[in-house]
């Protein structure tokens, strides 16, 4: 029979499964899958033994993070490493960031080139440096978060971002993985569809 875990008490190691036919008590001793997967709302398959559930298998664990199609995509989503970003979302953030970096550093170059010619204001240079701190650091953080979310979309841990630390080729590996590998929807452990 199939049902949904209605209540769970990890301290007592027991719970209640709800079905269309009624409710059944169970203990963790009857679990045939990892107790970590036993959470409220999980779908289970089990055998009825009177008012108790026996031989319990977890079929699907509810995911608190909806798949990227249902996730918020606003400004707030850029600062959270939970969830997934598609290739298109990854490229939008990456290319926009590169454009901002390019404009900032070109402008900074024009400002500092005036040092030799005398058309230079120290106050302007200070302002541009402070602007850089408040502009470049948040964008760098957003890029890291975007890359982590893209790794989640291909069903890999965000720790794969550390591949960037490999000298010379690390950044290229991360770019290829994030920019070109397709989304993994079936069995994605980071962003499954909610039912």
Query: Does residue 86 sit in the same domain as residue 142?
Result: yes
- What is the reported pTM? 0.60
pLDDT score for 195: 34
Query: Does residue 22 sit in the same domain as residue 89?
Result: no
Tens digit of pLDDT for each residue in 141-167?
A: 999 999 999 999 999 999 999 999 999
Domain containing 6: what range? 2-60
Does residue 189 lie within any of the structural domains? Answer: no
Query: Does residue 76 sit in the same domain as residue 154?
Result: yes
| Choice between 173 and 192, residue whose per-residue pLDDT is larger | 173
Measured between alpha carbons, how far apart are the two ends of the chain, in Å? 19
Does residue 74 lie within any of the structural domains? Answer: yes
Task: Report phi then psi at 148, rounded to 5.
Answer: -60, -45
What is the tally of structural domains in the chain? 2
**151, 157 Cβ separation under 8 angstroms:** yes
Burial class (CB in 10 A: 0-12, 13-18, 19+), 69: exposed
Query: Does residue 103 sit in the same domain as residue 166?
Result: yes
Does residue 194 lie within any of the structural domains? Answer: no
Q: Among residues 24, 39, 60, which one ends one of the domains?
A: 60
Tens digit of pLDDT for each residue in 78-101?
A: 888 888 888 999 999 999 999 999
Average pLDDT over residues 20-41: 83
Does residue 148 lie within any of the structural domains? Answer: yes
Does residue 80 lie within any of the structural domains? Answer: yes
């Amino acid at each position: 029979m199939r049902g949904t875990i209605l209540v769970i008490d990890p301290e007592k190691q027991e719970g209640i499964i709800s079905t269309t036919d009624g409710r059944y008590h169970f203990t963790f001793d009857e679990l045939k899958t990892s107790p970590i997967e036993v959470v409220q709302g999980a779908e289970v398959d089990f055998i009825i033994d009177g008012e108790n559930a026996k031989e319990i298998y977890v079929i699907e664990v509810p995911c608190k993070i909806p798949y990227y199609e249902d996730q918020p995509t606003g400004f707030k989503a850029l600062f959270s490493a939970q969830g997934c970003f598609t290739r298109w979302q990854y490229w939008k953030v990456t290319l926009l960031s590169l454009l901002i970096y390019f404009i900032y550093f070109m402008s900074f170059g024009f400002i500092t080139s005036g040092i030799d010619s005398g058309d230079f204001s120290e106050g302007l240079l200070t302002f541009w440096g402070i602007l850089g701190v408040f502009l470049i650091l948040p964008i760098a953080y957003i890029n890291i978060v975007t890359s982590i979310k893209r790794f989640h979309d291909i069903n890999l841990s965000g720790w794969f971002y550390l591949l960037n630390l490999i000298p010379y080729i690390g950044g290229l590996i991360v770019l290829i993985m994030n920019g070109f590998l397709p989304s993994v929807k079936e069995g994605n452990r980071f962003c499954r569809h909610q039912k």
